[in-house]
Chains A and B, each alone.
Chain A
């Protein structure tokens, strides 16, 4: 019934992992590629492979995994040149030779470990990614305000972002300007804009993203859309926001 017991006994491949290593706190050791060899196993993910390398071959190798289930957004890295969640990347979908590098753009801690969390918090502060509901004291003993079930589902769709940073790593504009809010920022704005509980207007949103660090910096090449591991509808949302903000700027 399942892939596991159907799979014929296989020949296990020999994998070569080339990892870009650098620790900025020891600048004497220049950035360099280091090769590790490992035997593949069934349903091996990059999480399993890297953990095995750290436990058996090189205990100094640095990377970040938390949930190992594709839901916390900790483990994004460049896998053969493309940003991906390493924990849910099966080695069987990759060639024998795998090149791993840290996400670009974000502050490097060491090796594959980057500070996505710090950048995301900064973005949240700047775009004020919390519900703004002025003058409204909600009595939490009372029945909640109603919301259309379809609308709730649409908001949830945009809320699924896991702040992994893949969209930023793939984005041409972000590579050129450190202050660009990126697709993740647009997704947040789109989410609160859609939410009738938020009392902000397009004027307010224009203040936040109506310039080159926001929608007008975006070149709409949509690399972000292709790499988002949660398949957020970035393409339609960015196009929509651009139209709205352009109208606002008139």
Chain B
């Protein structure tokens, strides 16, 4: 058995994985990163629009602060987020932006003086402050009260990933690319690393580590139309699930992005609407103001996507050979703006649609975009059920996003969680009691088990085709577990998925090579994907309410009384055809922001019995402490700074909020 030993094994070379690796390495721990593809090709590279952090440099951001960012995030999550984690996040996001700037990130900058923008179809002149000239700029994004989204033109993810990867290279962090973690090595209590398949040679290798961190991104490929890369199949979620003990949190809310180009599903950024672009229907009419008079095109994504589908259902969609779509109109932004600030959008339109978006409208329809659910961890990023297993980024649920994540909060989460969880991983490795000797016998058992599984696939003489099963699953998920859900449809979908899971035991592969063999890979991947699909569908069926991106036509109201709780799914019996579920209640009495109306979307919800009481407490504290400053009030309502690594507790400076000079 080939083995590889290290202190920290990071599975995933996207933003979250690399930033964790840098943190652990800087604290002196040997760290190795695994990735299916070269790190710079991870899907973080695709983020266009930007990263939220309350720097408050631009005019439209004045008055922004951690407090406003916190409230937007919690409202966006439809109160599903862990508010302590949200606080840790908003305090660290400005630091993450500034750290990236210090590492060379080419953030777009504020230009002092007048500039024209388009707001609500009007050309408006904004005046940027002279003292903000040259500082990092922010743009508008959905679901936010202030302009908060920092960006590098429309290649933010690319620039962030290159900046971060280059730092990892500088620190000499090895990335083992074309390597796939196929199982975690564990004894039911502690995780010791992973069984890793070399995707070129097919060889299995045991990687043993004190701490193992999963940062494998999203699972968009469970759906037929998605903005995600072809490698985003949730394999990190799945290997955690297959331990039988680790839990996945809130898998049922799935985010659909309003503007996937039709029909390919490639994303055009929310920045299009943030910068003033409009949605139009078959008659060329702008329809969002009728549904959402306040935020219009810039309500949160779950709301805009639902309104679009609703509008299509009412017969206002544009019919084409491939089905029905709506239009995104950015022509009003003008060619100069499009060619400078929305270049990737222009290229995508040119290469995949053959149109010039400065002249023609873009055909769009909501497409799967983001996996809110993930490996459930505590605020340190560690799984409460499997010591030594950490997770961060889109693959994790430490629970920043609850039932809907805001645009720009995800790349922000990757680096923020990387900074925070990376420190906790280093703390974990520093503790002598975690120095457990590497369990070679256990590792051998796990490698042999995976060998046997692969051999069984190659020797099997079934007749099912893995690609076919995958396509069927994607259609079921899109049709039955999509934007609008209801009990009957879900039950139907679940029955279908279970049949597919049975059929996946009877796959036959024609090529018998153990090395690079796309059919073999598709076989073991589709089995895992089906398990995740079942978790999403069954979780959606059980949750008889609507919250954030999870919308039940038969239960259209948010129901805090019964459902203010986090779904935890696990798969204790490998042979079972269904996952197990348990629920983790959220404590209203500890919330800084008790549940209420989001400010967009439905106004109608069922209160939690504790909400009025907590609201009173909060109001009383606020009025009692009037004049004592926002930090003191916050501290009184919901202390969190003791949860952050000491290096990240500092306050953030702004033009309007200078730090005291004596530090």
Contacts and interface: CB of A to CB of B under 8 A. Distances in A.
B366 interface: no
A54 B169 contact: no
Contacts of B519: 59-60
A138 B327 CA distance: 45
Interface in B86-115: 95-99, 101-104, 106-111
A21 B200 CA distance: 16
Nearest to B161: A72
A222 interface: no
Contacts of B517: 59-60
B190 interface: no
A2 interface: yes
A247 interface: no
Given A2-B355, A146-B133, A42 B169 contact: no
Contacts of A246: none
Contact of B201 (A25, A138, A146): A25
B591 interface: no
B344 interface: yes
A146 B263 CA distance: 42
A43 B103 contact: no
Contact of A1 (B37, B327, B655): B327
A149 B110 CA distance: 6
19 contacts: A2-B320, A2-B361, A43-B263, A66-B37, A66-B43, A68-B230, A70-B347, A117-B37, A121-B169, A133-B102, A140-B99, A141-B650, A142-B653, A144-B98, A148-B109, A149-B134, A153-B340, A156-B155, A159-B159
User: What are the 4 A-B residue pairs with the smallest beta carbon separation, nearest first?
Assistant: A117-B38, A146-B134, A131-B104, A130-B166
Interface in A7-41: 7, 25
Contact of A198 (B38, B104, B510, B516): B104
Contacts, number: 218
Given A1-B318, A66-B41, A71-B46, 14 more contacts: A2-B363, A3-B353, A4-B353, A4-B363, A5-B321, A59-B510, A59-B518, A70-B348, A120-B40, A140-B96, A143-B135, A149-B137, A156-B153, A197-B104
A173 interface: no
Contacts of B106: 152, 155-156, 159, 195
Nearest to A69: B266
B434 interface: no
A69 B348 contact: yes
Contact of A156 (B152, B167, B266, B360): B152
Given A1-B361, A129-B169, A141-B659, A152 B107 contact: yes
Contact of A140 (B98, B133, B137, B319): B98
A235 interface: no
A42 B95 CA distance: 47
B231 interface: yes
A223 interface: no
B229 A67 contact: yes
A73 B175 CA distance: 18
Contacts of B322: 4, 42
Contact of A72 (B45, B510, B516): B45
A55, A71, A121, A197 — most chain B CB neighbours (10 Å): A71
B518 to A, nearest CB: 6
B651 interface: yes
Given A43-B264, A71-B158, A141-B653, A156 B513 contact: no
Contacts of A149: 108-111, 133-134, 137
B46 to A, nearest CB: 5
B351 A60 contact: no
A117 B166 contact: no
A118 B38 CA distance: 7
B354 interface: yes
B355 A148 contact: no
Contacts of A110: 516
Interface of B: 37-41, 43, 45-46, 95-99, 101-104, 106-111, 133-137, 152-153, 155, 158-159, 162-163, 166-167, 169-170, 175, 177-178, 200-201, 229-231, 262-264, 266-267, 318-322, 327, 340, 344, 347-348, 351-355, 360-363, 467, 509-511, 513, 515-519, 650-655, 659
A137 to B, nearest CB: 9
A68 B263 CA distance: 14
B597 to A, nearest CB: 34
A186 interface: no
Interface string A136-171: 101011111111110011011001101100000000
Given A1-B360, A2-B361, A43-B264, A73 B230 contact: no
Given A117-B40, A149-B110, A156-B155, A138 B355 contact: no
A193 interface: no
Contacts of B167: 130
A143 B155 contact: no
Given A3-B355, A141-B650, A153-B340, A147 B134 contact: yes
B103 A74 contact: no
B99 to A, nearest CB: 5
Given A73-B41, A88-B351, A162 B134 contact: no
Contacts of B510: 59
Given A59-B509, A67-B43, A69-B266, A146 B95 contact: no
B41 A74 contact: yes
Contacts of B109: 146-149, 152
Given A5-B321, A118-B177, A120-B38, A195 B104 contact: yes
A183 to B, nearest CB: 17
Contacts of B363: 1-2, 4
B104 A72 contact: no
Contacts of A70: 347-348, 351-352
A74 B651 contact: no
B260 to A, nearest CB: 11
A74 B177 contact: no
A66 B178 CA distance: 12
Given A118-B177, A129-B169, A60 B513 contact: yes
A110 B511 CA distance: 15
A25 B515 CA distance: 10
Contacts of A116: 38
Contacts of A54: 518
Interface string A118-135: 101100110011110100
Contacts of A141: 95, 98, 650-653, 659
Contacts of A109: 178, 200, 516
A61 B659 CA distance: 60
Given A25-B515, A88-B351, A147-B109, A66 B170 contact: no
A124 B229 contact: no
A8 B659 CA distance: 64
Nearest to A117: B38
A129 B133 CA distance: 28
A131, A156, A198 — most chain B CB neighbours (10 Å): A156
A116 to B, nearest CB: 7
A76 to B, nearest CB: 11
Nearest to B165: A124
Contacts of A56: 467
Contacts of B347: 70
Nearest to A85: B351
